Amino acid sequence: MRYRDFLDLGYRPRESDVVCRFHLEPGDLPLEEAAGAVAAESSIGTWTELRTLKPYMVELRARVFEMEGQAISVAYPLELFEPGNLSNLLSSVAGNIFGMSAISRLKLLDIMLPEALLRSYPGPRYGIEGVRNLLGIRGRPLVGTIIKPKLGLNVQDHARVAYEAWRGGCDIVKDDENLADQGFNPFEDRVIETLEMRDRAEEETGERKAYLVNITAETGEMLRRAEYVEDHGGRYVMIDILTTGFAALQTLRKADLKLALHGHRAGHAAFTRPRRHGIAMRVIAKLARFAGIDQLHVGTAVGKMAEPRERVLENVEALKTPMGRLKPALPVASGGLHPGLVPELLKIFGPDVIIQAGGGVHGHPGGTEAGARAMRQAVEAALEGIPLKEYAKGRPELAAALERWSRP
């Protein structure tokens, strides 16, 4: 079979097919042949005719069934994939095809799985409703922070900063993506002392609080750390889903643990940021949801991150749109946020979101506790439809935050 044999523009995908959408710019082949190369090299074909290709295998070929300019859609027979194996899925539809000379640029824009394959993935244990039940929060966004500076604090200072954030009104406090088990802040000591501060904050505020400790490590060690967190009363862990890999995430989800899983997307922009090459964040969000993440960073559309609003909304949709029995996952907005951006965030995300502010809490002129209180006040104002400047009257924490981060 030649590359052109993988074009079938009259084909209509079956309900059992996996369907992918790509942006394709050809390299040393015409566009149609390059499109066929994508389908061939990700299924049963290659650059030359094969004596080992049997007639019965022809029905296993992927088919380019739609071409609109440089946008192509490819249907893959279900039989090409091992159920429950995300690594196999990604190696197939986003493997060698990115390195072929037949293409100059290729971006995987979306992936749709049939129900037969969706059933092989567990999806989130908790999802949106489960996380809300875990923390007892209804009708409003969850407010979170990241310990800053991200590296360098010792255990005692780390735990103290977490306590001040919880006491000020944060529901969630999490480690940053590169805090692991460094000598200045050992993992086990950090877990014990920070969870003790969580318990103290819960007793004082009457609210449930969550500490999202980063367990990212080699898979066996990651499981041991997750068990350590659960054994010491933790309810949550955080994992860098791309640097550990989807197989590690699947292993963690399948473990006999009751922990909610928070997904950090460290490194995603290497795949997602190029507009015409790589893998869209929407695809990564879907894969993480298949594997069982309960909540995931998806961008902000405001703040310091680069993704525009339409891309962020695509990522949110990937976490929330109905997918068989898979629960919807909770989007996380994080990156350059502060109280002044809260009303805009609620317009973009609605109430089902975690608003995480690191510098926007700890950089408050009154310190971490005041910064957390200002974030909660901003959420209250946005939910009530009251302009922030008006709501800040008589609320010095919010007033100071608006002055600190006011727009020119």
Active-site amino acid positions: 148, 264
User: Which phi and psi angles does 67 have, rounded to 5°?
Assistant: -140, 120
Report how far residue 98's alpha carbon sits from residue 83's, in angstroms, rounded to the nearest whole number: 24
Three-state DSSP class for residue 323: strand
C-beta of residue 205 within 8 angstroms of C-beta of residue 166: yes
C-beta of residue 235 within 8 angstroms of C-beta of residue 213: no
CB-side neighbour CA atoms (13 Å) of 212 = 27
Q: Output the CA–CA distances (angstroms, integers) from residue 284 to 110, 175, 296, in the order listed.
A: 9, 22, 10
- Which residues are CB-contacts of 221 (< 8 A; sequence separation ≥ 6)? none
- Token pair for 203: 């007793």
258 CB-contact burial (10 Å; exposed 0-12 / middle 13-18 / buried 19+)? exposed
Q: Where are the beta strands (DSSP E) in 210-342?
A: 210-214, 236-240, 260-264, 278-279, 295-297, 330-334
CB atoms within 10 A of CB 121: 23
